[in-house]
Structure 1
């Protein structure tokens, strides 16, 4: 045996031990986090399916003018519209946020049939689907510790504790992914075909072993991105490092300067309909999408618009416009496509983590990868347990042979 081969076996054994104990320590937490994450990938779809009466309508002729719906709601409810979400899909409801003169906060969002102006419901009460998905989010982010009323530790709140435990477990999972790569590739590169399939005809131990190795390999890229981005919400130092790496970091002074930046003063504001604002937005951006219009309480302030592309592989990043209240010209614009590649990555951390970065295509891939991630601690623990039992039997057999020799 060459010295290099012997050295690699020693190094590989170290990686094996790291891989094993990292998986054993974080196993239960990873199962909980990944299972809830698997479900939460389709958070929007699940809520819309079970509360379909709020989100979907039957297309019947032409949709009403957006401004007509606004006027109808303001007259019926005695409140003012502050925000509108107008969907490109003609079979989707519109969302209007209204607030009364004596109300505080963000107001109430109403789901409205765009063909009749009928209110389908509002967000003042939570549905069963919303409650369930909220629990999945809590489990995924804070391990449900944010729902424990009594503080568990004096040194930190329950939410921070859940975030910390989650962060440590995610770090160990990421370590397991990296060591798994180092273990798999040198071992399988010569016989790579064997490492890419499951031998279904073998005994259950071999099948379990193949499932762990093969499924992990196929989901490797997604698992790395999931775990590497998941740490963004656990550790402040990691979040800051991420932002500096991808050129999206702002110092406190820069944030304060941006918040206190004086807005342009418009002395001759005009009255524009929501349809005119929508048309101006689509003309400027050159595409039709889902559009969110924010209407300022002060008519001399800029009108803020966000528009999202809706094709199958569209990035969830929005194109933002600030329009003049005098003539709807663009005063400021922040287009996702104008950002550098680094900044696009940096600002897409949430969508990289959830798999929404390339629309429904990447979401489905992330769903499968997250399901695999849920299984890895289970199959990995079974591999360890089977090897442990095999080692115990081997020791007993050696001890029995030694005893027989002594008796002979």
Structure 2
């Protein structure tokens, strides 16, 4: 490849790298800290995750919600995690308050008593907002979301331009691609570390970028859904107006579907074949949604999706994970692919290490940029050398 072309790629690589270095370094570090969030939260709350099994019957979903919301200052219950395991506590999550904060508690399934708030939840919620939105005002509706999305695209450009810059003459040499020369001093050492380690983690970074853009741009999410989903996009339907005006009692009943009736229908359908269920409490009229994990599920995200009419107990719709197409299963596992959890424990560890290495590229990239400028400045008086010693091809 001609040197002017590499020089152009180097300019693009340098300018974009300097512009996004601090942001992508922060995103990598926080992403690594989020890799084992579920495991850490489970360990912090292991003492309240279970209670002694009793002979008394467990409370129904409506009873749990009623007891929680009867407490002073309690918000609206938005979601409950119900387990089939005897003695497992119920994890209930409240809707966001006026400050935009969300909280969860562990509840005794026999008497509805709040055992404890979920330890670690607030810390990881703040860390997640820092990772996705840089803690800027508005969170997902603010500028932070756009900034992280643009930086993710910029990182993809860095990966492409970086591969062009380090393309070796001996393309088939594995040693040239994957073995850093740690014995070289100074700038050569930083270049080897920056380029070779970057080659190691490049496939992981491409995956995290392509999945991370899901949370940054609505157009990207819609495009990915259109491309991968086997179902046509659902058209938004306006709520039907009751003819002649609804009576207050009828309106109240329609606004508060029975969770117990939906739960009874679910148990009749699934029996004891489920491990746990996310029960989403509806805000008003509409079916109750239950996302169930079967005991023989291949992984924790392989959930069957039930929508049950809370007024009649009729099953409105069921989406079995086993029936999903490859594209639909990918859409359901975007977060797990992003974190590496979709590839098992080894994948999670590799993705965590790759994310933690992002500050390394920030530091070495800045060092290489300023050292290159210094070497070029030193070589200006000499017109007999086309490239200063210590610079690579294209610099």
- Unpaired runs of 5+ residues, structure 1, are 1-6, 100-106, 148-156, 401-408
Q: Which moved more, 1:25-34 or 1:197-206?
A: 197-206
Bigger share in helix: 1
Does residue 93 of structure 1 match 2:84?
Answer: no
| CA gap 1:233/1:75 in 2 versus in 1, 3 angstroms | closer
- Residue-by-residue CA offset, 1:122-156 (whole Å, 9 max, x unaligned): 47xxx6x3343233222222222217xxxxxxxxx
Report whether the alignment pairs 1:17 with 2:7.
no
Alignment of 1:240-259 (within 5 A): 240-247=222-229, 254-257=234-237
- Work out the CA distance in 2 between the residues paired with 1:98 and 1:213: 47
CA shift in 2, pair 1:310/1:351, >3 Å: farther
Query: What is residue 249 of structure 2 aligned with on the other side?
Result: none
Mapping of 1:9-408 within 5 angstroms?
9-54=3-48, 56-57=49-50, 65-67=57-59, 84-87=80-83, 93-96=89-92, 110-113=105-108, 119-122=114-117, 129-146=120-137, 160-187=142-169, 189-247=171-229, 254-257=234-237, 279-280=267-268, 282-283=270-271, 287-294=273-280, 304-308=289-293, 314=299, 316-323=301-308, 331-358=316-343, 360-396=345-381
> Cα gap change, 1:77/1:131 in structure 2, threshold over 3 Å: closer, same or farther?
closer
Secondary structure of the residue that 1:166 maps to in structure 2? helix
Q: 1:33/1:271 Cα in 2 relative to 1: closer, same or farther (>3 Å)?
A: closer
Tell me the SS of whatever aligns to 2:225: helix
Q: What is the Cα-based RMSD across aligned positions, in Å?
A: 4.6
Per the alignment, do residues 90 and 367 of structure 1 end up closer, same or farther by CA in structure 2, a change over 3 Å counting?
farther
Tell me, yes or no, if the aligned pair for 2:301 and 2:332 is still in contact at 8 Å: no
Decide which moves more: 173-182 or 308-317: 308-317
With structure 2 as the length reference, what TM-score do the two structures score? 0.71
CA gap of 1:92–1:366, structure 2 versus 1, over 3 A, is: farther
In structure 2, list runs of 5 or more residues that go unmatched.
Answer: 96-101, 243-253, 386-395
Q: Kindly state the Cα deviation for residue 230 of structure 1 after the two structures are TM-superposed.
A: 2.4
Maintained 8 Å contact 1:316/1:357: no
Report how far residue 52 of structure 1 moved.
4.8
Deviations 1:42-90 (CA, angstroms, capped at 9, x unpaired): 3333444445544x347x5689754479868867985899854124677
Distance in 2 (alpha carbons) for counterparts of 1:364 and 1:62: 40
- Give per-residue Cα distances to partners, 1:164-212, cap 9 Å, x unaligned: 2222222211111122233445556232223212333332533332322
Contact 2:288–2:308 (Cα < 8 Å) also in 1:
yes
Question: Match of 2:357, SS?
Answer: helix
Q: 1:18-61: per-residue Cα shift (whole Å, max 9, x none)? A: 2222212211121122222222233333444445544x347x56
The separation in 2 between residues aligned to 1:364 and 1:63, in whole angstroms, is 42
Question: Contact 1:315 / 1:359 at 8 angstroms: preserved in 2?
Answer: no
Q: 1:354 and 1:383 mapped to 2: Cα distance?
A: 30
Aligned counterparts of 1:259 and 1:360: Cα–Cα separation in 2: 45
